[in-house]
Structure 1
Amino acid sequence: MEFFLPMVVSAVAVLATLIYASLLDIQNRRVPFITWLPMLAIGVACTAALLWQKTANASLLAGYLALVTSFLYADYLDNRGRTDSRGLAGYYANEKIFWYFVPVLVLPALSWFVLTPSVSVLILPWYAMFAGILGYVTWREYKGWPEPRRKGKRGQVPRGPDMSEMLGRWYFVLIILIFAIVSATMLVGTGGWGSSAIALLLITLFTGVFYIFGRMHLFGGADAWALIFIALCVPLFPFTPLLGNSPLGFLAFSVLINALILNLAAPVGIFLVNILRGNRAPLMYLFFGFPVKGDEIQKEWGFVMEDFEEKDGKLTRKFIGFFDAVKRMYKGEGRVYTKDLREHPQEFTHELAMYKKAGTVWISYAVPFIIPITAGFVTAVIFGDFLYALMRLLTGGI
């Protein structure tokens, strides 16, 4: 059995953090970013030690640290101006932005040029793009330009894409692509990282996808960061799981697969409860939501699944369509969250009146996905990838 002590230590830190984060998410539906930092410090140190132990490649190690640093810097930029409970900016103060920017630039340069000079010519344009994009976004954030400054008629922002605003929101997608391209170049380029580059390429692609999902509001922030940090902290299985290693041997992907499979139990359970209680709704909604009393909706957890309108004293209601719901998730607006109803009732007086008049309101179930992620992590480490094991079973491989 292959056994990696650094990954065991990192896995213990990740599990402890996931359990704590799950409790926070259940209680408050919020996991402060600082919750992940102790786990990340341990996990990055352990992964760095493992990379050095297996490859003794200083360039690869610096490339890994460059990726981690870039993610932390992206969170800093995306949350510029966050304050603590005392109203102090803390380590998010704008004045410190260039101090954070320096290691973000230095680590890739060290990895891609100083420690691997034979492939530096191929990577130079990508580094120039990397530095240019982050330099522009850093300056933009430093000057406090998070919103488009152009004004149209009547003081409104004109329609059409604002390239500056789009770059400010989606710049990190380009950064991830640059890391992926460089990793691929290091895989095939002479004097690069060789097959060891596959590990960093997998980490880059996986973390990039879930960063994008988080920005599109398709995943909760805590859920996206949990998967990103699992990939960064425990890229390999700590030991051979009981059902065997998956083909990629990439733990984070198996965690996601197991979490999705385990999470299927919730919709099935909700559907059965709705059938037993005689709740009536279109089939899809029976799997993902349930009705609650309109005058008690502030006590519940979930997103409202219906739109209400009152005309000529008559109340009409309709379920929010799937594509409309996705559109609202992407824009981050138009969705009513029961937590907001509870914490900011003055902003939802009209909606609360509609819900009370309606009698019942359908809301989505609100089990935080970080709980299946935690279960998926435990099962992946111990048993392995459920989907791969099932495929092997069906094909006679087990």
Structure 2
Amino acid sequence: MTYSPLIISTVAVFITLLYASYLDVKERRVPFRTWYPMLVVGMIATIVLFYQNTENISLICGYLALVASFLYADYLDNHEPGTPFRLQYLAIVLALPILSWFLLPILTTGHMPETQLIPWYIMFAGLLGYVSYREYKREPERRLTAKQARKEAQRESNVEEVLTRWYFVLVVVILAIASFYMIGSGNWGIPGIYIALAAVFCGVFYIFGQMRLFGGADAWALIFIAFCIPTFPITPLFKASPIGFLAFSVLINALILNLVAPLGIFIINVVKKNRAPLQYMFFGFPVKGEKIQEAWGFVMEDFTEKEGKIERKFIGFWDSLRRMRSDEGRVYTKDLREHPEEFEKELGTYKKAGNVWISYAVPFILPITAGLITAILFGDILFTIMSFVTGGA
């Protein structure tokens, strides 16, 4: 395949990731519009790549359908009730699969394609249509504090609310199934595997972001890397992954490089003689209670005050994970800083406690940026190590 268009896309992605990393470190927030220039350049480059190598318009429309579905999901997630609802966005999202799965294959082959995708498209259109209708009819919400919003979200457990929250899981499954079908039927050919892999990969990280198992900016960074640079733009120095899907190698490299941070934190804690159970020495450090609002991270201890004495215990791993998923009971220093009136009791306790252990807060977008650079220049670190160990290097 010809990869030259992806070099331009890679430069755009790298510059955007550097800027997003700066914003995340400084403000702990990356506005969604930050990704727009990178996405525009990356989409154009990917479309040119697909056309140069296949001249398959159905494949290109399938790619656009995937990207449009994710952007529309973000639009639904962030649409403010009471503001105009853009039904034209829904029309575009529904039209692209029709072109890709049905009309263009008919024009190309001259005969009707198999009908297996028709029920899947009906499900796809039905899900997006239903959720769009609910969003269109949704009334503006009353102002709630952060704690009140979390409690109300927990009470919304009926079928309609669950479907509205998790509909995109089904949408991603449908897109993946359709992609593999189009490959198997010969309509897309082997390059279609990049669209199928992107559907699965991006779907997983979108869902992780929704479940708060992954930062929003981090999830979108990986999603847009998959959209903008579907494969390696140049031959890396060592080993690329066998499937050639760049975003997966970026993730693996980022996870490996991110292991350096806990080791560094452990060494710093040992040098400073900070004491805590061993596992916490790798992932956190103590800060002065009166200055906790100036730090970044989340509190790793629970405090109770009895008869004027402060009792404390570290939060266990599974309990911490549960709190992160439910968004209840986990205290972030960002909330302490932005909503001090809601945490007056906690802030008073932290001051009495003296030192408070908090997690380290290096934004994962930094390892993602490093993972992109290492993946492009050197390849997949894990696959390279495995090849060396097994004698395949």
CA contact (8 A) 1:241 1:383 kept: yes
Q: Give the distance between the partners of 1:146 and 1:194, measured in 2 at CA.
A: 47
Matched, 1:369 2:368: no
1:48 paired residue number: 47
Matched, 1:142 2:131: no
Q: Give the distance between the partners of 1:225 and 1:58, measured in 2 at CA.
A: 26
Q: CA deviation at 1:195?
A: 2.1
**TM-score using structure 2 length:** 0.92
1:107 paired residue number: 96
Matched to 2:75, the amino acid is Y
- Secondary structure of the corresponding residue to residue 96 of structure 1: coil
Q: Stretches of 4+ moved more than 4 A in 1?
A: 156-160
User: Following superposition of structure 1 onto structure 2, how do residues 157-196 of structure 1 map, counting pairs within 5 Å?
Assistant: 161-189=157-185, 191-196=186-191
CA contact (8 A) 2:56 2:188 kept: yes
1:4 paired residue number: 3
Q: CA deviation at 1:119?
A: 3.1
Matched to 1:178, the amino acid is I
Q: CA deviation at 1:96?
A: 3.3
Query: For residues 266-290 of structure 1, what are the alpha-carbon distances to aligned partners after superposition, in whole Å with 9 as ceiling and x for unaligned?
Result: 0001111112222221221111001
Structure 2's unaligned 5+ residue stretches are: 107-111, 142-151
Report how many residues are paired: 378
Distance 1:349 1:158, change over 3 A: closer
Residue 245 (structure 1) aligned to one of 240, 249, 265: 240
Q: Give the distance between the partners of 2:188 and 2:154, measured in 1 at CA.
A: 48
Query: For residues 119-172 of structure 1, what are the alpha-carbon distances to aligned partners after superposition, in whole Å with 9 as ceiling and x for unaligned?
Result: 35110000000000000000001111699xxxxxxxx99968411111111111
CA contact (8 A) 1:112 1:120 kept: no
Distance 1:375 1:146, change over 3 A: farther
1:350 paired residue number: 345
CA contact (8 A) 1:251 1:380 kept: yes
CA contact (8 A) 1:302 1:364 kept: yes
Distance 1:145 1:331, change over 3 A: farther
Q: Give the distance between the partners of 2:153 and 2:65, measured in 1 at CA.
A: 37
Q: Give the distance between the partners of 2:154 and 2:329, measured in 1 at CA.
A: 21
Distance 1:141 1:120, change over 3 A: farther
User: Following superposition of structure 1 onto structure 2, how do residues 307-326 of structure 1 map, counting pairs within 5 Å?
Assistant: 307-326=302-321
CA contact (8 A) 1:113 1:119 kept: yes
Residue 130 (structure 1) aligned to one of 110, 121, 124: 124
Matched, 1:215 2:204: no
Q: Give the distance between the partners of 1:60 and 1:145, measured in 2 at CA.
A: 39
Structure 1's unaligned 5+ residue stretches are: 83-92, 148-155
Q: Give the distance between the partners of 1:326 and 1:199, measured in 2 at CA.
A: 32
Question: More displaced, 328-337 or 35-44?
Answer: 328-337
Matched, 1:202 2:197: yes
Q: Give the distance between the partners of 2:303 and 2:30, measured in 1 at CA.
A: 31
CA contact (8 A) 2:239 2:383 kept: no
2:267 paired residue number: 272
1:234 paired residue number: 229
**TM-score using structure 1 length:** 0.91
Matched to 2:103, the amino acid is V
Matched to 1:106, the amino acid is A
Q: Give the distance between the partners of 1:219 and 1:145, measured in 2 at CA.
A: 29
- What's the Cα RMSD here? 1.8
Q: Give the distance between the partners of 2:113 and 2:27, measured in 1 at CA.
A: 49
CA contact (8 A) 2:2 2:53 kept: no
- Secondary structure of the corresponding residue to residue 115 of structure 2: helix
Q: Give the distance between the partners of 2:159 and 2:333, measured in 1 at CA.
A: 34
1:397 paired residue number: 392
CA contact (8 A) 2:296 2:334 kept: yes
1:75 paired residue number: 74
Distance 1:3 1:55, change over 3 A: closer
Query: For residues 179-204 of structure 1, what are the alpha-carbon distances to aligned partners after superposition, in whole Å with 9 as ceiling and x for unaligned?
Result: 01101111222x52232321111111
Matched to 1:294, the amino acid is G
Q: Give the distance between the partners of 1:60 and 1:3, measured in 2 at CA.
A: 16
Percentage of pairs with the same residue: 61
1:90 paired residue number: none
